[in-house]
Amino acid sequence: MVQILVVDDDKEIVNAIEIYLKKEGYQILKAYDGKQALEMIKNHEVHLVILDVMMPNQDGFETLQEIRKEKTIPVIMLSAKSEDYDKIEGLNTGADDYITKPFNPLELIARVNSNVRRYVDFGSMETTKGEKIYQTGGLKMNDETKQVTVDGEEIKLTATEYHILRFLLQNKGKVYSIPQIYENVWNEESYGAENIIAVHIRHIREKIEINPKEPIYLKVIWGIGYKIEDISH
Amino acid sequence: MEKLKSSSLLRAICYVAIPLLVLILIVSIAHVSLVSKYGEVSERKDYLQTENFAHLYYNTILSNVLNVNSYRNNANRRYSPYREIQNDDNHQAIYYEDNSRYNSVTSKCMDYIILDKENGTIYTNMKSNDYQKEMQSMKDKKTYWNYTQGQIQTNMESINQDNIKFLYSSSSSLEEFEEIEVYSSFNTKLMATSASFSMQQKIYDIFKDNRNATAYLIPMTVIALAVIFLYLCFSIGHQKGKEGIELSSIDRFPYEILVTISFTIIGILCSIMLASFESSAMGNLIYSIWLLCYLGSYVSLAVLGITTIKRIKAKEFWHSFLVYRIFRWVKRQIAKVVTKAIDGSHMSKRITFFYLGFVLLSIFLGLMLGSGIAIILLLVFWIWVYYQLLQYGKKMETIQNALKDIYEGKKEVYLNEEELAGMLKRMARYINDIAGGFSNAIEESLKSERLKTELITNVSHDIKTPLTSIINYVDLLKEEELENPKTKEYLVVLDKKSQQLKKLIEDLVEASKVSSGNVKLKMETIDLKELLNQIRGEFEDRFEQRHLSIDMNLPKEDVKIQADDRYFYRIIENLFSNVTKYAMEHTRVYIELVNTGYEIHLIMKNISKEKLNISADELMQRFVRGDRSRYTEGSGLGLSIAQSLTELQGGKFQISIDGDLFKAEIIWKK
């Protein structure tokens, strides 16, 4: 049984999250400030923490630092602060993910699932020698079985989407413009087919990303092109 | 007293009385002086008996003799009044026109012949063909006086041999000139025709009966005149029922000119009078001329006197001088020119001062230009002045640059006041103050913008937390089984509105951040064609849902600009998202990219679904939506954010409305 600790000074939010996550089959522990949270972690086996940033007594970041002194469990920060600055600070402090209030319940569940899988099942899909496997972070592509998984969960892609994603994954970290992608995937010059590529990429993003507007893997660099982020744990 | 002061009748009497009194005074004084000169004479004959006449006569003779003597001795013959004239057979005659300066009346009436016995030369004031005969006949004249062989022969008792001893003579006596003989006669009739003599006679005649009248007439007239003068001084200028001194036009006439005119008139009249004194004309004509001259002189003198008194009393005496007026005019003109030039400015005064100094020093050195040192000094001085001007110009430029910096909005503007002096120093101080105030103001406004953004951010955080609960519980409710079908409807509304509220808060934070410039830009080279294709890809589905077709018109060549890719995307995203919200379904959306060479225009046109009865400017303001209603989705901040973001990155954002055609244009300088 996976136990998730939800920490927020707003009890209603904690309760709502509890309802959502219970439906997903998680066991929920609740805390209403940083100190309680640390107590909980000390006394119970916690697999994941959802931690609100703005709390009385001890705020989320301080609590996170305390947690990180002993544990490597995934922590998802929950904050009303939506600035990039806040997200970066949260991630730098040691958070694994960041969700801004008000959040979409589905996104929350997806992120929780993703993080739990990564934490609990990490390494379950060991690379078999000889198999063509492309990976970045939780995104894996087995070119032998034509299987794509995100944090272990299989994703269904169309053939075109698969080819585009494979090309980008093979060259992860590099930015390709639409014509470049077209030429490399179709091996022919692009004549006004750019639009199709953009649509495909959006579709890929919608499938592999939890929040397509804030993608982790397939990033859009506006006016330049697209790339697969090179994430190595 | 007042009546007396302003009585014109009394004044008129005074004006009439003055000439009469003065005439009486003159006549009295004349009589007194005549009496003292000639004694008490009543007849012409008597006059010849007077010691005064004897004195005159003898001295006239004597002066002529002295003249003759000096001529004889060749002393100063050149300057001698004697001129040689045609003589008769026996004698060399020398005629002397103005025979004596001693007394004109006496000598005019006198004929004389002076004979130099040594060479028989005749000195005379007579014109004659036969001087021998003249000399002989001299004895037969009514009054004669001869001096021959050291003896005086005369029928005038007062100048005979005995009496002559008592006559005063300053220089010498006749006895010294034994070689000289004098023949002379005196014409009393001629004397009578002389105006001055007849005048004297008249004066004598006036006081014939009362010879001592002058003794009281003089003091009386003097007192009367004094009284009248004082009264006039007191009264002149005052008029009935009027305060102060009444000045007429003549009282304003330049005083010197008036004096000149007046004395010229008097001078002319007096010279006429004096000329007539010497003339032999007689009778009433002379008297009327005299009277006219006298009255004329009196009138002009009176006019002058009256105006003088008036001017003094009105305290306008000096002001009425032409010299004063000229001086005042010149002074005013100079003052006018100077005030115009200086115009109350302290700087002009200084410049004038220094410029005068420069000119004077140049002139001074120029005058000494003869010496070499002066030339060198002058050159050095000029070079020095040139150097100073250059320095001044440089400093002015510094100040101008500082002002330009302020004008351009630079924050750190500071002038070193120590390097400057005088007005420049003050200017520098003011500029520093302004610059300080300016940068303070900028800081203040930035600070207040920051505070505003912070406030909005903080408030939005506080709103977001309860909103999270609302959204979550609405979502949870949706999954509950509800008996009343209406509740589901209500839940849809709640869901929609809470999502809208979420979007609104996010946009609000962004708008405040963007409009306060509180964003960090990461400028990169962006390919606009790529960007438009990417965005199109992003929006394809949504456009299709609304049956909007995109007509994209892109140039063949790459169009690259410098921009922050994420914020630039936000601009276009906002525009696209506006289109999906507000464009009419089944219409085309035109996107055009134009590269003019200098600028890049990104133009987006679509047909609005609602009537746009609003101006473009209003539309760009925050929280404004085309339909003015709040039923549509969106926060109304989209265009405002797009505009702020465009301007932040150095572009221009314009929108225009033409009927239902909505056009947005982004202009980017290359």
Q: Mind listing the pLDDT tens digit for each residue in A176-203?
A: 988 888 888 887 776 766 678 888 899 9
Q: Is B337 exposed, middle or buried (0-12, 13-18, 19+ CB in 10 A)?
A: exposed
Say if residue A124's pLDDT is above 60: no
Which of B37, B332, B428 shows the shortest CA–CA distance to B203? Answer: B37
> Which residues from chain A sit within 8 angstroms of residue B528, using beta carbons?
223
Say if residue B162's pLDDT is above 60: yes
CA distance B487 to B429: 73
Is the same domain home to B168 and B275? no
Is the same domain home to B277 and B357? no
Instruction: Supply the DSSP symbol for A223.
Output: T
Read off the pLDDT of residues B275-297 as tens digits, 9 standing for 90 and up: 776 555 556 777 788 888 888 88
Which of A208, A202, A165 shows the shortest CA–CA distance to A184? Answer: A165
| Nearest-CA distance B584 → chain A (Å) | 23
The pTM of the full predicted model, rounded to 2 decimals, is 0.50
What's the angle, vertex CA A150, arms to CA A146 and CA A154, rounded to 5? 50
Say if residue B628's pLDDT is above 50: no
Exposed e or buried b per residue across B295-321, where buried means at least 16 C-beta atoms within 10 angstroms of its C-beta:
ebbbbbbbebbbbbbbbbbbebbeebb
pLDDT of residue B68: 77
What is the average pLDDT across A202-213? Answer: 88
Say if residue B150's pLDDT is above 90: no
What is the average pLDDT across B468-481? Answer: 87
pLDDT of residue B101: 46
Look up tokens 């009546």; give the residue.
Answer: B3
Query: Where exactly are the structural domains of chain A?
Result: 3-120, 133-228
Q: Is residue B530 part of a domain?
A: yes
Q: Which of A105, A201, A224 lies nearest to residue B537, judging by beta carbons?
A: A201
Q: Is residue B476 part of a domain?
A: no
Cβ(B293)–Cβ(B269) below 8 Å? yes
What is the average pLDDT across B109-122? Answer: 79
Question: What is the rounded average pLDDT for all residues in chain B?
Answer: 79
pLDDT of residue B591: 92
Q: How confident is the model at residue A122 (pLDDT cuts 50, 70, 90)?
A: low
> Which residues from chain B sit within 8 angstroms of residue A194, using beta carbons?
530, 533
Is the same domain home to B228 and B313? yes
> Which residues from chain B sit within 8 angstroms of residue A14, using beta carbons?
none
Question: What is the rounded average pLDDT for all residues in chain A?
Answer: 84
What is the average pLDDT across A61-80? Answer: 87
Say if residue B603's pLDDT is above 90: yes
State whether the Cα torsion A55-A56-A61-A67 is positive or negative. Answer: negative
Is the same domain home to B65 and B171? yes
Is the same domain home to B131 and B215? no
**Does the distance separating the beta carbons of A12 and B473 come in below 8 Å?**
yes
Interface residue A225 vs chain B (CB under 8 A): yes
Q: How confident is the model at residue B102 (pLDDT cuts 50, 70, 90)?
A: very low
Say if residue B629's pLDDT is above 50: no
CA distance B58 to B75: 24
What is the average pLDDT across B498-520? Answer: 81
Residue that finishes a domain, picked among B354, B369, B400: B400
CA distance A161 to A201: 7
Q: Which of A198, A200, A221 lies nearest to residue B536, judging by beta carbons?
A: A198
| Nearest-CA distance A39 → chain B (Å) | 25
**Does the distance separating the beta carbons of A19 and B565 come in below 8 Å?**
no
Say if residue B142's pLDDT is above 90: no
What is the average pLDDT across B206-211? Answer: 73
Is the same domain home to B141 and B175? yes
Lowest mean pLDDT among B20-34, B97-111, B565-579: B97-111
**Does the distance separating the beta carbons of A178 and B534 come in below 8 Å?**
yes
**Does the distance separating the beta carbons of A81 and B537 come in below 8 Å?**
no
Say if residue A233's pLDDT is above 60: no
Q: Which of B476, B506, B565 lies nearest to residue A19, judging by beta carbons?
A: B476
What is the average pLDDT across A140-166? Answer: 87
What single-letter amino acid sits at B39?
G
Interface residue A102 vs chain B (CB under 8 A): yes
> Which residues from chain A sit within 8 angstroms of residue B530, using beta carbons?
177-178, 194, 223-225
Q: Is residue B24 part of a domain?
A: yes
Interface residue B135 vs chain A (CB under 8 A): no
**Does the distance separating the beta carbons of A105 and B568 come in below 8 Å?**
no
Q: Which of B457, B468, B540 lies nearest to residue A199, judging by beta carbons?
A: B540
Domain count, chain B: 4
Nearest residue on chain B to A78, alpha-carbon basis: B465
Q: Which CATH architecture has domain A3-120?
A: 3-Layer(aba) Sandwich (3.40)
Say if residue B103's pLDDT is above 60: no
Asked if the ipTM is above 0.90, the reply is no
Do domains A3-120 and A133-228 share one topology? The answer is no
Q: Is residue B483 part of a domain?
A: no
What single-letter amino acid sits at B455?
L
Look up the CATH number of the domain holding residue B577: 3.30.565.10
Is the same domain home to B115 and B221? no
In sequence order, which residues have a C-beta less than 8 Å from that of residue A61 and are 6 or more positions away?
A53, A89, A90, A93
Is the same domain home to B12 and B111? no
**Does the distance separating the beta carbons of A12 and B527 come in below 8 Å?**
no
Q: Is residue B543 part of a domain?
A: yes
| For testing contact with chain A, the best of B458, B461, B472 (most A CBs within 10 A) | B472
Read off the pLDDT of residues B311-354 as tens digits, 9 standing for 90 and up: 888 887 888 888 888 898 999 988 888 777 766 677 777 788 88
Is the same domain home to B163 and B240? no
Read off the pLDDT of residues B546-602 as tens digits, 9 standing for 90 and up: 899 888 888 888 888 888 888 888 899 888 988 888 889 899 999 999 988 888 999
Is the same domain home to B286 and B393? no
Residue B177 vs residue A70, higher pLDDT: A70
Say if residue B258's pLDDT is above 50: yes
Is the same domain home to B123 and B226? no
Interface residue B531 vs chain A (CB under 8 A): yes
Q: What are phi and psi of B28, to 5 degrees?
A: -60, -45
Please provide the DSSP assignment of B242-263 as one string: --S----HHHHS-HHHHHHHHH
**Does the distance separating the beta carbons of B526 and A222 come in below 8 Å?**
yes
Residues in chain A: 233
Taking the domain A133-228, which CATH number applies? 1.10.10.10
Q: Is residue B500 part of a domain?
A: no
> Which residues from chain B sit within 8 angstroms of residue A222, using beta carbons?
526, 531, 534-535, 565-566, 568-569
Q: Is residue B151 part of a domain?
A: yes
**Does the distance separating the beta carbons of A102 and B502 come in below 8 Å?**
yes
Structure tokens at A169: 């994954």
Is the same domain home to B29 and B118? no
Residue that finishes a domain, picked among B400, B425, B441: B400
Q: How confident is the model at residue B630 (pLDDT cuts 50, 70, 90)?
A: very low
What is the average pLDDT across B11-25? Answer: 87
Torsion angle of C-alpha atoms B484, B488, B493, B499, degrees rounded to 10: 140
Q: Is residue B123 part of a domain?
A: yes
Residue B369 domain boundaries: 346-400
